[in-house]
Protein backbone atom coordinates (compact mmCIF):
# COMPACT_ATOMS: atom_id res chain seq x y z
CA UNK A 1 0.00 0.00 0.00
CA UNK A 2 2.80 2.41 0.90
CA UNK A 3 4.64 1.56 -2.31
CA UNK A 4 1.52 2.27 -4.37
CA UNK A 5 1.09 5.67 -2.73
CA UNK A 6 4.70 6.58 -3.54
CA UNK A 7 4.19 5.63 -7.18
CA UNK A 8 1.04 7.76 -7.40
CA UNK A 9 2.87 10.71 -5.83
CA UNK A 10 5.77 10.42 -8.27
CA UNK A 11 3.40 10.25 -11.22
CA UNK A 12 1.57 13.37 -10.08
CA UNK A 13 4.84 15.28 -9.66
CA UNK A 14 6.07 14.19 -13.07
CA UNK A 15 2.79 15.21 -14.66
CA UNK A 16 2.93 18.60 -12.99
CA UNK A 17 6.49 19.17 -14.22
CA UNK A 18 5.49 18.21 -17.75
CA UNK A 19 2.57 20.58 -17.66
CA UNK A 20 4.68 23.46 -16.29
CA UNK A 21 7.58 22.98 -18.72
CA UNK A 22 7.56 25.80 -21.30
CA UNK A 23 8.77 25.50 -24.87
CA UNK A 24 10.84 27.59 -27.23
CA UNK A 25 7.69 28.96 -28.83
CA UNK A 26 6.34 29.99 -25.43
CA UNK A 27 9.50 31.98 -24.70
CA UNK A 28 9.48 33.54 -28.17
CA UNK A 29 5.88 34.64 -27.74
CA UNK A 30 6.73 36.04 -24.31
CA UNK A 31 9.65 38.15 -25.56
CA UNK A 32 7.66 39.39 -28.53
CA UNK A 33 4.88 40.50 -26.20
CA UNK A 34 7.24 42.15 -23.71
CA UNK A 35 9.23 44.12 -26.28
CA UNK A 36 6.21 45.22 -28.33
CA UNK A 37 6.04 48.98 -27.81
CA UNK A 38 8.86 48.92 -25.24
CA UNK A 39 10.92 52.13 -25.14
CA UNK A 40 14.40 51.40 -23.79
CA UNK A 41 15.20 55.10 -23.50
CA UNK A 42 12.71 55.59 -20.66
CA UNK A 43 13.66 54.86 -17.07
CA UNK A 44 11.47 52.19 -15.38
CA UNK A 45 8.97 53.17 -12.71
CA UNK A 46 5.32 54.16 -12.95
CA UNK A 47 5.61 56.86 -10.31
CA UNK A 48 8.29 59.29 -11.53
CA UNK A 49 8.47 60.95 -8.11
CA UNK A 50 9.78 57.75 -6.53
CA UNK A 51 13.45 57.01 -7.29
CA UNK A 52 14.22 53.72 -9.00
CA UNK A 53 16.10 51.43 -6.61
CA UNK A 54 19.10 49.67 -8.10
CA UNK A 55 20.86 47.03 -5.99
CA UNK A 56 24.51 46.47 -6.70
CA UNK A 57 27.38 44.31 -5.46
CA UNK A 58 30.83 43.53 -6.81
CA UNK A 59 33.06 40.46 -7.19
CA UNK A 60 36.79 40.67 -7.88
CA UNK A 61 38.32 38.14 -10.27
CA UNK A 62 41.96 39.18 -10.62
CA UNK A 63 44.53 41.96 -10.41
CA UNK A 64 46.50 41.92 -13.63
CA UNK A 65 48.98 44.75 -13.17
CA UNK A 66 49.90 47.64 -10.93
CA UNK A 67 52.50 49.88 -12.55
CA UNK A 68 54.12 52.28 -10.08
CA UNK A 69 55.76 54.46 -12.74
CA UNK A 70 52.52 55.21 -14.59
CA UNK A 71 50.08 54.76 -11.70
CA UNK A 72 48.04 52.26 -13.71
CA UNK A 73 45.99 49.55 -12.01
CA UNK A 74 44.50 46.82 -14.22
CA UNK A 75 41.93 44.44 -12.77
CA UNK A 76 38.95 42.30 -13.74
CA UNK A 77 35.67 42.28 -11.83
CA UNK A 78 31.99 41.46 -12.04
CA UNK A 79 29.05 43.67 -11.09
CA UNK A 80 25.80 42.08 -9.91
CA UNK A 81 23.07 44.64 -10.60
CA UNK A 82 19.32 44.22 -10.32
CA UNK A 83 16.26 46.48 -10.48
CA UNK A 84 12.54 46.20 -11.20
CA UNK A 85 11.00 47.18 -14.53
CA UNK A 86 7.21 46.88 -14.32
CA UNK A 87 6.95 46.98 -18.11
CA UNK A 88 8.73 43.61 -18.28
CA UNK A 89 6.43 41.78 -15.83
CA UNK A 90 4.01 39.03 -17.03
CA UNK A 91 1.62 36.35 -15.83
CA UNK A 92 3.36 32.96 -16.06
CA UNK A 93 0.11 31.09 -16.66
CA UNK A 94 -0.40 32.96 -19.93
CA UNK A 95 2.84 31.55 -21.32
CA UNK A 96 2.75 27.90 -20.22
CA UNK A 97 4.17 28.75 -16.74
CA UNK A 98 7.22 30.55 -18.13
CA UNK A 99 8.78 32.31 -15.14
CA UNK A 100 12.04 33.61 -16.55
CA UNK A 101 13.73 34.48 -19.80
CA UNK A 102 16.93 36.03 -21.10
CA UNK A 103 17.04 39.10 -23.36
CA UNK A 104 20.04 40.83 -25.01
CA UNK A 105 20.91 43.90 -23.00
CA UNK A 106 20.69 46.25 -25.98
CA UNK A 107 16.91 45.69 -26.17
CA UNK A 108 16.00 46.94 -22.68
CA UNK A 109 16.76 49.93 -20.46
CA UNK A 110 20.09 49.79 -18.62
CA UNK A 111 21.60 52.12 -16.02
CA UNK A 112 24.52 54.04 -17.52
CA UNK A 113 27.25 53.29 -14.98
CA UNK A 114 30.50 55.05 -15.90
CA UNK A 115 33.99 54.65 -14.45
CA UNK A 116 35.08 58.25 -13.78
CA UNK A 117 38.75 57.66 -12.89
CA UNK A 118 39.95 55.59 -15.88
CA UNK A 119 43.56 55.47 -16.99
CA UNK A 120 42.71 56.23 -20.63
CA UNK A 121 39.14 56.90 -21.78
CA UNK A 122 35.86 56.93 -19.89
CA UNK A 123 34.36 53.44 -19.88
CA UNK A 124 30.92 52.12 -19.03
CA UNK A 125 29.63 48.68 -18.11
CA UNK A 126 27.70 48.10 -21.32
CA UNK A 127 28.85 45.18 -23.46
CA UNK A 128 27.00 44.15 -26.62
CA UNK A 129 27.41 40.42 -26.00
CA UNK A 130 25.90 40.47 -22.49
CA UNK A 131 22.31 39.59 -21.62
CA UNK A 132 19.70 40.49 -19.03
CA UNK A 133 17.93 37.83 -16.96
CA UNK A 134 14.20 38.65 -16.50
CA UNK A 135 11.86 37.29 -13.84
CA UNK A 136 8.08 37.18 -14.24
CA UNK A 137 7.67 39.87 -11.56
CA UNK A 138 9.73 42.36 -13.60
CA UNK A 139 13.04 41.92 -11.74
CA UNK A 140 16.00 42.46 -14.08
CA UNK A 141 19.33 40.85 -13.21
CA UNK A 142 22.41 42.14 -14.98
CA UNK A 143 25.79 40.40 -14.57
CA UNK A 144 28.43 42.50 -16.30
CA UNK A 145 32.08 41.43 -16.30
CA UNK A 146 34.78 43.80 -17.45
CA UNK A 147 38.46 44.67 -17.23
CA UNK A 148 39.15 48.05 -15.66
CA UNK A 149 42.21 50.25 -16.01
CA UNK A 150 42.18 53.06 -13.47
CA UNK A 151 44.55 55.65 -12.05
CA UNK A 152 46.00 54.82 -8.63
CA UNK A 153 48.74 57.01 -7.15
CA UNK A 154 51.10 54.86 -5.13
CA UNK A 155 52.66 55.78 -1.80
CA UNK A 156 56.14 54.20 -1.93
CA UNK A 157 57.40 55.49 1.42
CA UNK A 158 57.71 51.99 2.90
CA UNK A 159 58.72 50.19 -0.30
CA UNK A 160 59.03 47.19 -0.53
CA UNK A 161 57.00 46.76 2.67
CA UNK A 162 54.26 49.06 1.41
CA UNK A 163 50.47 48.78 1.44
CA UNK A 164 48.55 50.50 -1.33
CA UNK A 165 44.91 51.65 -1.34
CA UNK A 166 43.28 52.01 -4.74
CA UNK A 167 39.74 53.09 -5.60
CA UNK A 168 37.47 52.69 -8.61
CA UNK A 169 34.80 55.40 -8.83
CA UNK A 170 31.52 54.80 -10.68
CA UNK A 171 28.66 57.25 -11.33
CA UNK A 172 25.13 56.77 -12.65
CA UNK A 173 25.34 59.02 -15.70
CA UNK A 174 22.37 61.13 -16.73
CA UNK A 175 20.28 60.72 -13.54
CA UNK A 176 20.26 62.54 -10.24
CA UNK A 177 20.05 60.91 -6.83
CA UNK A 178 16.32 61.69 -6.54
CA UNK A 179 15.74 59.72 -9.77
CA UNK A 180 17.90 56.66 -9.11
CA UNK A 181 18.80 55.30 -5.70
CA UNK A 182 21.89 53.09 -5.66
CA UNK A 183 21.73 50.53 -2.87
CA UNK A 184 24.74 48.39 -1.97
CA UNK A 185 23.58 44.81 -1.39
CA UNK A 186 26.85 43.84 0.32
CA UNK A 187 29.64 46.16 1.44
CA UNK A 188 32.11 43.28 1.32
CA UNK A 189 33.48 42.51 -2.14
CA UNK A 190 33.07 38.89 -3.13
CA UNK A 191 36.50 37.19 -3.35
CA UNK A 192 35.29 33.60 -3.79
CA UNK A 193 36.42 33.60 -7.44
CA UNK A 194 39.52 35.74 -6.92
CA UNK A 195 42.78 34.44 -8.40
CA UNK A 196 45.71 35.32 -6.15
CA UNK A 197 48.24 37.78 -7.52
CA UNK A 198 51.94 36.89 -7.27
CA UNK A 199 52.93 40.39 -6.09
CA UNK A 200 49.93 41.78 -4.22
CA UNK A 201 47.88 40.34 -1.39
CA UNK A 202 44.35 41.62 -0.83
CA UNK A 203 44.02 42.87 2.76
CA UNK A 204 40.67 44.62 2.39
CA UNK A 205 38.01 44.93 -0.32
CA UNK A 206 34.88 47.01 0.25
CA UNK A 207 32.11 48.57 -1.79
CA UNK A 208 30.93 51.94 -0.49
CA UNK A 209 28.62 54.76 -1.58
CA UNK A 210 29.98 58.02 -0.13
CA UNK A 211 27.91 61.16 0.10
CA UNK A 212 29.01 63.86 -2.33
CA UNK A 213 28.69 67.48 -1.17
CA UNK A 214 29.07 69.11 -4.57
CA UNK A 215 27.27 66.61 -6.80
CA UNK A 216 23.65 65.52 -7.19
CA UNK A 217 24.55 62.10 -8.60
CA UNK A 218 25.16 58.88 -6.71
CA UNK A 219 28.62 57.34 -6.58
CA UNK A 220 29.83 53.79 -6.04
CA UNK A 221 33.43 53.24 -4.93
CA UNK A 222 35.29 49.94 -5.14
CA UNK A 223 38.05 50.21 -2.53
CA UNK A 224 40.96 47.77 -2.50
CA UNK A 225 43.72 47.58 0.11
CA UNK A 226 46.71 45.66 -1.22
CA UNK A 227 49.87 44.63 0.60
CA UNK A 228 53.01 43.76 -1.31
CA UNK A 229 54.41 40.25 -0.95
CA UNK A 230 57.93 40.96 0.37
CA UNK A 231 59.96 37.69 0.39
CA UNK A 232 61.29 38.21 -3.16
CA UNK A 233 62.39 41.78 -2.41
CA UNK A 234 63.99 40.82 0.89
CA UNK A 235 66.08 38.09 -0.75
CA UNK A 236 66.99 39.90 -3.97
CA UNK A 237 67.18 43.51 -2.78
CA UNK A 238 67.29 44.19 0.97
CA UNK A 239 69.79 41.51 2.04
CA UNK A 240 72.30 42.27 -0.78
CA UNK A 241 72.11 46.00 -0.04
CA UNK A 242 72.78 45.40 3.66
CA UNK A 243 75.64 42.99 2.93
CA UNK A 244 77.36 45.26 0.42
CA UNK A 245 76.97 48.39 2.54
CA UNK A 246 78.26 46.59 5.62
CA UNK A 247 81.51 45.79 3.77
CA UNK A 248 82.30 49.47 3.30
CA UNK A 249 83.66 49.94 6.84
CA UNK A 250 86.06 46.99 6.63
CA UNK A 251 88.26 48.75 4.09
CA UNK A 252 89.98 50.41 7.06
CA UNK A 253 91.09 47.01 8.38
CA UNK A 254 93.05 46.19 5.22
CA UNK A 255 96.81 46.78 5.58
CA UNK A 256 98.13 49.93 3.94
CA UNK A 257 100.86 47.99 2.18
CA UNK A 258 98.37 45.73 0.38
CA UNK A 259 97.45 48.45 -2.12
CA UNK A 260 93.85 47.19 -2.33
CA UNK A 261 92.13 49.85 -0.27
CA UNK A 262 91.18 52.20 -3.09
CA UNK A 263 90.02 49.36 -5.35
CA UNK A 264 87.98 47.72 -2.61
CA UNK A 265 86.19 50.92 -1.52
CA UNK A 266 85.48 51.95 -5.13
CA UNK A 267 84.02 48.53 -5.98
CA UNK A 268 81.71 48.59 -2.98
CA UNK A 269 80.60 52.14 -3.80
CA UNK A 270 79.79 51.17 -7.39
CA UNK A 271 77.77 48.19 -6.15
CA UNK A 272 75.64 50.47 -3.96
CA UNK A 273 75.10 52.84 -6.90
CA UNK A 274 73.90 49.90 -9.03
CA UNK A 275 71.25 49.02 -6.42
CA UNK A 276 70.24 52.69 -6.21
CA UNK A 277 69.74 52.70 -10.00
CA UNK A 278 67.60 49.55 -9.81
CA UNK A 279 65.33 51.08 -7.16
CA UNK A 280 64.99 54.32 -9.11
CA UNK A 281 63.83 52.34 -12.16
CA UNK A 282 61.17 50.55 -10.10
CA UNK A 283 59.71 53.58 -8.33
CA UNK A 284 57.75 56.52 -9.79
CA UNK A 285 59.53 59.80 -10.45
CA UNK A 286 57.02 61.86 -8.47
CA UNK A 287 57.81 63.24 -5.03
CA UNK A 288 54.20 63.18 -3.79
CA UNK A 289 53.27 62.03 -1.23
CA UNK A 290 56.77 60.82 -0.30
CA UNK A 291 59.95 59.40 -1.75
CA UNK A 292 60.84 55.85 -0.77
CA UNK A 293 62.68 55.60 2.55
CA UNK A 294 64.86 52.91 0.98
CA UNK A 295 65.99 55.49 -1.57
CA UNK A 296 67.08 57.81 1.24
CA UNK A 297 68.99 54.96 2.85
CA UNK A 298 70.82 54.15 -0.37
CA UNK A 299 71.68 57.81 -0.94
CA UNK A 300 73.09 57.91 2.60
CA UNK A 301 75.18 54.83 1.82
CA UNK A 302 76.41 56.41 -1.43
CA UNK A 303 77.44 59.63 0.34
CA UNK A 304 79.07 57.63 3.13
CA UNK A 305 80.88 55.49 0.56
CA UNK A 306 82.14 58.62 -1.21
CA UNK A 307 83.60 59.89 2.05
CA UNK A 308 85.19 56.48 2.62
CA UNK A 309 86.92 56.65 -0.77
CA UNK A 310 88.24 60.13 0.03
CA UNK A 311 89.43 58.97 3.46
CA UNK A 312 91.19 55.99 1.93
CA UNK A 313 92.97 58.22 -0.59
CA UNK A 314 94.08 60.57 2.19
CA UNK A 315 95.42 57.75 4.37
CA UNK A 316 97.25 56.24 1.37
CA UNK A 317 98.97 59.56 0.72
CA UNK A 318 99.98 59.92 4.39
CA UNK A 319 101.28 56.35 4.43
CA UNK A 320 103.42 56.98 1.35
CA UNK A 321 104.92 60.18 2.78
CA UNK A 322 105.35 58.90 6.34
CA UNK A 323 109.08 58.27 5.98
CA UNK A 324 109.85 61.71 4.55
CA UNK A 325 107.70 64.17 6.49
CA UNK A 326 107.41 64.52 10.27
CA UNK A 327 104.07 64.27 12.03
CA UNK A 328 102.42 67.71 12.30
CA UNK A 329 102.16 69.18 15.77
CA UNK A 330 98.29 69.15 15.88
CA UNK A 331 98.24 65.43 15.09
CA UNK A 332 100.83 64.73 17.80
CA UNK A 333 98.70 66.66 20.30
CA UNK A 334 95.64 64.61 19.41
CA UNK A 335 97.52 61.31 19.75
CA UNK A 336 99.07 62.24 23.08
CA UNK A 337 95.69 63.40 24.41
CA UNK A 338 94.22 60.02 23.56
CA UNK A 339 97.17 58.34 25.26
CA UNK A 340 96.42 60.17 28.48
CA UNK A 341 92.74 59.23 28.24
CA UNK A 342 93.63 55.57 27.86
CA UNK A 343 96.10 55.80 30.73
CA UNK A 344 93.39 57.12 33.07
CA UNK A 345 91.19 54.15 32.20
CA UNK A 346 93.89 51.60 33.09
CA UNK A 347 92.88 49.44 36.04
CA UNK A 348 94.75 49.67 39.38
CA UNK A 349 98.08 47.77 39.39
CA UNK A 350 99.62 45.84 42.28
CA UNK A 351 101.77 47.81 44.76
CA UNK A 352 105.01 46.30 43.45
CA UNK A 353 104.49 47.85 40.03
CA UNK A 354 103.70 51.38 41.25
CA UNK A 355 107.35 52.46 41.33
CA UNK A 356 107.81 51.41 37.69
CA UNK A 357 104.66 53.20 36.61
CA UNK A 358 105.61 56.37 38.48
CA UNK A 359 109.07 56.23 37.01
CA UNK A 360 107.70 55.85 33.54
CA UNK A 361 105.25 58.68 34.10
CA UNK A 362 108.00 60.91 35.45
CA UNK A 363 110.22 60.14 32.47
CA UNK A 364 107.40 60.90 30.07
CA UNK A 365 106.38 64.08 31.88
CA UNK A 366 109.98 65.19 32.14
CA UNK A 367 110.63 64.88 28.44
CA UNK A 368 108.79 65.89 25.31
CA UNK A 369 105.64 63.75 25.31
CA UNK A 370 104.87 64.50 21.66
CA UNK A 371 108.28 63.63 20.31
CA UNK A 372 107.71 59.84 20.00
CA UNK A 373 104.49 60.04 17.95
CA UNK A 374 104.94 58.18 14.63
CA UNK A 375 102.90 58.16 11.42
CA UNK A 376 101.93 54.55 12.00
CA UNK A 377 100.16 55.43 15.24
CA UNK A 378 98.41 58.39 13.57
CA UNK A 379 97.15 56.24 10.68
CA UNK A 380 95.98 53.52 13.06
CA UNK A 381 94.02 56.08 15.05
CA UNK A 382 92.52 57.56 11.89
CA UNK A 383 91.51 54.12 10.57
CA UNK A 384 89.85 53.28 13.89
CA UNK A 385 87.82 56.48 13.90
CA UNK A 386 86.76 56.04 10.26
CA UNK A 387 85.82 52.40 10.87
CA UNK A 388 83.66 53.32 13.86
CA UNK A 389 82.02 56.28 12.09
CA UNK A 390 81.21 54.24 8.95
CA UNK A 391 79.61 51.47 10.99
CA UNK A 392 77.67 54.06 12.99
CA UNK A 393 76.20 55.59 9.81
CA UNK A 394 75.34 52.13 8.48
CA UNK A 395 73.50 50.97 11.59
CA UNK A 396 71.71 54.29 12.17
CA UNK A 397 70.43 54.38 8.57
CA UNK A 398 69.22 50.79 8.81
CA UNK A 399 67.56 51.48 12.18
CA UNK A 400 65.74 54.57 10.90
CA UNK A 401 64.49 52.68 7.83
CA UNK A 402 63.29 49.84 10.05
CA UNK A 403 61.38 52.28 12.26
CA UNK A 404 59.76 53.87 9.19
CA UNK A 405 58.52 50.59 7.66
CA UNK A 406 57.24 49.25 11.00
CA UNK A 407 55.19 52.31 11.99
Q: 356 pLDDT exceeds 70?
A: no
Instruction: Give the chain's mean pLDDT.
Output: 81
Q: 167 pLDDT exceeds 50?
A: yes
Q: 354 pLDDT exceeds 90?
A: no
Q: What is the pLDDT of residues 91-117, one digit of tens each?
A: 999 898 899 999 988 889 998 888 888
Q: Are residues 236 and 216 in the same domain?
A: no
- Residue 67 placed within a domain: yes
Pair 165, 120: CB distance under 8 Å? no
Identify the residue with better confidence: 289 or 50.
Answer: 50
Q: Which of 178, 199, 228 is the last residue of a domain?
A: 228
Q: What confidence category does residue 383 fall into, taking pLDDT thresholds of 50, 70 and 90?
A: confident
The pLDDT assigned to 385 comes to 86
What's the number of domains the chain is made of? 2
Q: Are residues 80 and 148 in the same domain?
A: yes
Of 160-169, 241-250, 258-267, 286-295, the range with the lowest mean pLDDT is 286-295
- Residue 353 placed within a domain: no
Pair 268, 246: CB distance under 8 Å? no
- Residue 14 placed within a domain: no
- Residue 18 placed within a domain: no
The CATH number of whichever domain residue 65 belongs to comes to: 2.70.170.10
The pLDDT assigned to 360 comes to 47
Mean pLDDT value across residues 188-196: 92
Q: Are residues 265 and 201 in the same domain?
A: no
Structural domain span for residue 387: 232-340+368-406
pTM above 0.75, yes or no: no
Q: Which of 173, 207, 228 is the last residue of a domain?
A: 228
Of 93-97, 143-147, 294-298, 369-373, the range with the lowest mean pLDDT is 369-373
Q: Which of 211, 228, 245 is the last residue of a domain?
A: 228
* Cα–chain center distance at 176: 35
The pLDDT assigned to 102 comes to 92
Amino acid sequence: MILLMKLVFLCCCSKRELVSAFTLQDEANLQASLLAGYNKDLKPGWDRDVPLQINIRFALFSIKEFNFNTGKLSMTGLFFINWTDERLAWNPTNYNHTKKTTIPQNKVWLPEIINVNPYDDLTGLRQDHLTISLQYNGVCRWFTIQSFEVVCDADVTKYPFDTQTCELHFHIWGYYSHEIDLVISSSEIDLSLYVENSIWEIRGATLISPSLKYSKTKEIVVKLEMKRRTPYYVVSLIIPIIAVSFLMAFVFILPHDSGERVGFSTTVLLSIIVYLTIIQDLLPESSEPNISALGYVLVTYVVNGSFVVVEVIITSRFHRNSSENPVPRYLRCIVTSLRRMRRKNVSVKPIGTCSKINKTDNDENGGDENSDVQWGEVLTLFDTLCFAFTLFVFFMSALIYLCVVIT
